[in-house]
Structure 1
Amino acid sequence: MAREPALSTDKLKGLGVEKLAQLVLDEAERNAGFRRQVKAALAGKSGPEAIAKLIDRRLSGLARAKSFIEWDKARAFADDLHSLTDTITSELGPAAPALAIDRLLRFIATHEQVFERVDDSSGRVQDAYYQAIAATGDLAPSLTPQEADALPEKIMTALGESTHGYLADVTEAVAPHLPQDSLGRWDGDLKDAIAERQTEEAARKSDGWFYSMTSQWAKMRQILALARGDLDLLIALELKKKPHMQDTLAIAARLLEAGRSAEALEWVRKPGQRTFGKVDDGLSPDRVSLEARILDATGDKQAAQALRWRCFESRLSADILRDYLKQLPDFEDIEAEDRAHALALESAEPEMALQFFLDWPRLDLAAKLIAAHPHRWDGGDWHILPKVAGLLEHDHPVVATILYRALLDNILDRARSKAYGHGAKYLGKLTLLASEADSSRPSGMVDHATYLAKLKTAHPRKSGFWARVGDGELKEQIARAARRPVWIKDDG
């Protein structure tokens, strides 16, 4: 039976009006953001214009502010921005969506000025703007036809020269909710604006570098083309980009969806965008997955399967292998899966094979792979190896030991003092695994007692680490390990 929540509307109503009012008043005294929300709710009793007036004062203050926000006040500042968008959305939005969207656009237009005033490395301030953009899209369906028709002009007035990119984001949020005629006029206005601006910029080329809005406006035209269902215009605009900037996979996917498989095949095979500065070799799993689906649609299932297998051989992608196996007749998939596993175990890139076995998942084969390459694992891979070791502790203690030792050795060899706490934890794990690991360890792998002794000899000055472990505790660990048979490393 589900537990009843400690707080609920009915329970709060039971406190009575006076008690609730006092609680609200007390919290409003402590919390400036909450106080503003309460004031907006009270203003709402006088109608949407009163709420809008209250919001306008806050927006005007935000637009006028120039001082830099110190790091210790950045979180409170971001919370205040979120509170402002919440007020616009929850208090003004239901009563007057057009007025709410006007205020959201005013708020979004402050982003460039605000980002100059605050260090937003946490992303909280930017999240407030994305929240406002999403709210604009959520409110757009509530507009009257006349209000919706006027929205493109309002967006261009507020954000038409914004260099940050939010203009395209707002367009994407509202475009699905606007009348087709409005979208067509908006696209025409953008087309004219691009042509005019390009003429102006051609005359300014000798002035040095400057930011051009035309790329952002062109992106908006593609968003509008999608909303209008005009795939040919979308493609024509994509072709105007430089080849390495074209999103070939997105166009191919749209063409496949539209049943235009032959054209989709041409697009998916174009070089297209680069990944981290490298040209795609045609075997990236995303590209292959799409191209294989296109080949299936054209009826060339044999070529599709050959492509999937070639990609798996190159990238050991679990998703690609699943697609490949789904297309095989019954019982043939079992043999193919075994062949794939054998290929991964023999891979020249064990790290990639390990990720495959984790994704499949086959922890037993992951353990076999790790054991086959005991010195391959980089203890600097702290983002994945501790998780893998944890998964293997119960059934594969020797393999878990290999990984925990790699992690601990990396920390101590590199004197990563900030990670000494993790190192102490890994040593504790090794101690717990010692009994089972020592009894089944392979030739060439030292036992736990010997490993501990070597640590002490190799890193006697790592006092920060030994303090974490506790010298007395370490001696007890060595003593406990020493009471078990000591295995002599076979160097031969």
Structure 2
Amino acid sequence: MRETGNAQVPSHNAFRFKLAHWSGVRPLVNDDDAMMDDRKTRLCGLGADVLADAILDLSSQYEEAEKLVDRLLAPADKAESRIKSELDALKRECRHYDWDSARALATKIHMLLSDIASSIHDAQTGADLVLGFYETDGSVFEHCDDSDGYVGDVYRNEAPELFARYAKEFPDRAGLLSRIKALISADEYGVRDSILDGAHEWLTSLEMRSLAADGLACAQMENDNYRRFRWFHMAETMARLLKDGALFEQLRRAASDELGAAARTDMAEVYLASGDLDRALHHLEQVAPDDLFQQGRRDELRMKIYQQTGREVDAHALAWTIFHRCRGMTALENLLKVIGAHRREEVIAQEIERIQASPTFSTDDADLMVQTGHAGECARYVEHHAAQIDGRNYYCLPTLAHTLQTHGHLPAATIIYRALLVSLLERGYTKAYPHGAGYLHQLQIMAPNIVDWQKRPDHAAFCQHLRDKHGRKRSFWAQVQGA
């Protein structure tokens, strides 16, 4: 007999879909309940007339607000038919949403889910409607440019959460599994299987094993590679949620005759979750240490195994390997978590010595020195490797130059700003000329305070060189004049 909790399926407050911010970033989730409660209390204090006028004013300006008013005023017994009509309209819609308007489409389907959440309290009806929502994916994705993923996020993140709340109380369990399989069987856009990501919250272990077995059987009978992959993915998702390493390995071996690095790492992850550390480590040892694609995951899993089995020496050695692969503050903190925070100063001193002795320049190493309070050592490092500073690294170098400039290490900052400017001009990257003018401006500011140019051209000589080589780049010099 399946255990169930409270039979009450979510109200609008229990399942609080956000009215998302579509200002160039992903929808934001406000988890600060205290702030929300305070705002609600203050709004209630304004009185019904004030709120009604405000909502009507919004509805006169925004289509979605108008729809919200219609939904609030609609008879409760008409909610299901109204939502079904909206789903049908979404399937029939032929308007194309380009990149700029895709966020409006995301808002539209977000509000449709919000309508289901606030209006439907019967578990079977609610689940059926969310499944119907998933079935709109074909029409939706065929008519929009979802390069930024706003629309996909609604299907992958919001819809599964709502479905889970209904599915927990879905009365016809066999019917539910049948609907899920039908949904997955026609997953052409790779968003429907997201419904299973939290399936352990609304399926029993027996139900998950049933889906895994059905997924395997369907995959073995499927000739289409894409559909075959989707069936295996469904089965493997169930194995992951069950934390059944043996089942996951059986599925992965059935899917392919050869087990590559990714497959081995995936299997190790599930075995580790199941508590079978020996099998997990066995598979990780089959992954080549220099496999760049799986290196990070492999080491992360190995570290967990070493720590859980008390293999302190191995854990320390691995922590050092990971740190030396890519020095940085995050890597340093992770290293110290393993070897002990009391060794911070020892490690920093040792690594600065290593960095200074290195024949090659690394922005990660330079950044580590600055962030650990050793800007002077970083300046000497930059000056020593001046010939290796690659101005094309415009993601990291401007920040490093500004930091060195702020700390008074002007020759080192000058080396970096010059490298950035020369690289930009040599590439003729006109869109970045405003940045180049900014670099030259900083060089002009620092020049009077530099006494020793260390056998490098002074500022006047450097500017003459720029004029001689890039004097015809009028758009750049126009930026300089306007700076």
TM range (shorter): 0.7 to 0.9
| Structure 2 CA distance for partners of 1:128 and 1:301, relative to 1, 3 Å | closer
Q: How does 1:36-115 map to 2 (within 5 A)?
A: 36-43=67-74, 46-47=75-76, 49-70=77-98, 73-89=101-117, 91-92=118-119, 95-115=121-141
CA distance in 1, matches of 2:340, 2:66: 66
| Structure 2 CA distance for partners of 1:96 and 1:466, relative to 1, 3 Å | farther
Alignment correspondent of 2:226:
212
Alignment correspondent of 1:190:
215
- Counterpart secondary structure, 1:270: coil
2:358 corresponds to 1:347: yes
Give the alignment partner of residue 285 of structure 2, picking from 260, 269, 272: 269
CA apart distance, 1:63:
0.7
Q: Which moved more, 1:116-125 or 1:51-60?
A: 116-125
CA contact (8 A) 1:66 1:117 kept: yes
CA apart distance, 1:73:
4.1
Q: Which runs of 5+ in 2 are unaligned?
A: 1-34
CA contact (8 A) 1:63 1:110 kept: yes
Alignment correspondent of 2:29:
none
CA distance in 2, matches of 1:110, 1:64: 9
Give the alignment partner of residue 53 of structure 2, picking from 22, 31, 45: 22
Q: Deviations over 1:91-127 (max 9, x none)?
A: 235x334433322222222223322212222322222
Give the alignment partner of residue 63 of structure 2, picking from 21, 26, 32: 32
| Structure 2 CA distance for partners of 1:400 and 1:175, relative to 1, 3 Å | same
CA contact (8 A) 2:360 2:385 kept: no
CA apart distance, 1:52:
2.2
CA distance in 1, matches of 2:347, 2:45: 65
| Structure 2 CA distance for partners of 1:56 and 1:359, relative to 1, 3 Å | farther
CA apart distance, 1:419:
1.0
CA distance in 2, matches of 1:187, 1:285: 29
CA distance in 2, matches of 1:329, 1:33: 55
Alignment correspondent of 1:432:
445
Alignment correspondent of 1:414:
427
2:172 corresponds to 1:144: no
CA apart distance, 1:350:
2.0
Alignment correspondent of 1:222:
236
CA distance in 1, matches of 2:300, 2:97: 47
CA distance in 2, matches of 1:251, 1:99: 38
Q: How does 1:264-343 map to 2 (within 5 A)?
A: 264-271=280-287, 279-280=291-292, 284-316=295-327, 322=333, 324-328=335-339, 334-343=345-354
CA distance in 2, matches of 1:195, 1:330: 52
CA distance in 1, matches of 2:135, 2:369: 46
Q: How many percent identity over aligned positions? A: 25
CA contact (8 A) 1:379 1:385 kept: yes
CA apart distance, 1:77:
2.8
CA apart distance, 1:10:
4.5
CA distance in 2, matches of 1:309, 1:17: 63
| Structure 2 CA distance for partners of 1:132 and 1:160, relative to 1, 3 Å | farther
Alignment correspondent of 1:447:
458
- Counterpart secondary structure, 1:338: helix
CA distance in 2, matches of 1:31, 1:357: 50
Q: Which runs of 5+ in 1 are unaligned?
A: 202-209, 474-492
| Structure 2 CA distance for partners of 1:293 and 1:162, relative to 1, 3 Å | closer
CA distance in 2, matches of 1:177, 1:457: 72
CA distance in 2, matches of 1:270, 1:39: 60
CA distance in 2, matches of 1:333, 1:422: 37
CA distance in 1, matches of 2:322, 2:303: 11
Alignment correspondent of 1:459:
470
CA apart distance, 1:233:
0.8
CA contact (8 A) 1:92 1:100 kept: no
CA apart distance, 1:61:
0.8
Q: Tell me which structure has the larger Cα radius of gyration.
A: 1
| Structure 2 CA distance for partners of 1:333 and 1:82, relative to 1, 3 Å | closer
| Structure 2 CA distance for partners of 1:321 and 1:106, relative to 1, 3 Å | same
TM-score (normalised: structure 2): 0.80
- Counterpart secondary structure, 1:271: coil
CA apart distance, 1:72:
5.4
CA distance in 2, matches of 1:76, 1:344: 50
| Structure 2 CA distance for partners of 1:159 and 1:255, relative to 1, 3 Å | closer
Q: Deviations over 1:388-443 (max 9, x none)?
A: 2233221133222222222222222222111112122222222333343x13x441
Alignment correspondent of 1:206:
none
CA contact (8 A) 1:69 1:117 kept: yes
- Counterpart secondary structure, 1:381: coil
CA distance in 2, matches of 1:357, 1:72: 40
Q: How does 1:116-127 map to 2 (within 5 A)?
A: 116-127=142-153
CA distance in 2, matches of 1:36, 1:149: 36
Question: How many residues align structurally?
Answer: 444
Alignment correspondent of 1:392:
404
CA distance in 2, matches of 1:57, 1:445: 74
CA contact (8 A) 1:85 1:131 kept: no
- Counterpart secondary structure, 1:104: helix
- Counterpart secondary structure, 2:387: coil
CA distance in 1, matches of 2:215, 2:443: 65
CA apart distance, 1:71:
5.2
Alignment correspondent of 1:479:
none
Alignment correspondent of 1:378:
390
